[in-house]
A and B are shown apart, each in its own frame.
Chain A
Amino acid sequence: ETGVTQTPRHLVMGMTNKKSLKCEQHLGHNAMYWYKQSAKKPLELMFVYNFKEQTENNSVPSRFSPECPNSSHLFLHLHTLQPEDSALYLCASSPGRFAAGYFGPGTRLTVT
């Protein structure tokens, strides 16, 4: 394990539900990321936080709302998702913006 944990590991939610994904890193890193991994598509960077400040939002729909209360925790709040949002959501952290990312195990999300 790399020191980045994610909960829950699996989530099934209806289109009208509200849920949150949690990521925690125990590595003392300053930057945290959310990625979306869909079948047969490259990883897509969704959000970047550097020292708790959001520095990147790659045109992600507003039904995804990130929160970074401190440099160790990152949340992804989900509401009114669509079936095409079903994917593996990966959290990563890095000691700096230009360093390699250390990934968590991911949350497998299924939207029904």
Chain B
Amino acid sequence: AQTVTQSQPEMSVQEAETVTLSCTYDTSESDYYLFWYKQPPSRQMILVIRQEAYKQQNATENRFSVNFQKAAKSFSLKISDSQLGDAAMYFCAYRSASENNNDMRFGAGTRLTVKP
């Protein structure tokens, strides 16, 4: 079964600085999707960024970008120019591209604090 590991339970960053959140996963599949979700305190979980495994180019969304290393099974999230509103729990998630597998696996999350 696929597993997703976020080795940093907590991270902090100074406002306007850059922070990188780590995520590794274990799978024997070659085709899959990876996601980063953000869950602010007492607010809904929202999608931050998505990466298809067959794409070599790293996904970017404004200040958010990923470093996808397929061979290393690593999928880190970089937040540039951090803002106070970036403070949240961040979850890395894996979804198989197999027709027979609807499961979506999440990491345990990283709590990001942004210091003014």
Contacts and interface: CB of A to CB of B under 8 A. Distances in A.
Interface of A: 1-2, 4, 33, 40-43, 45, 48, 50, 55-56, 58, 90, 97-98, 100-106
A56 B102 contact: yes
Contacts of A97: 102
Interface of B: 4, 33, 35, 37, 43-47, 50, 91, 93, 95, 97, 102-109
Nearest 4 Cβ contacts at the A-B interface? A43-B106, A103-B45, A56-B102, A48-B102
Contacts of A100: 33, 35, 47, 50
Contacts of A48: 102
A103 B46 contact: yes
The A interface, classified by DSSP as helix, strand, loop or mixed, is: loop
Tell which of B44, B50, B95, B105 has the most Cβ of chain A within 10 Å: B44
A41 B108 contact: yes
A71 to B, nearest CB: 15
Nearest to B44: A105
Contact of A98 (B43, B97, B108): B97
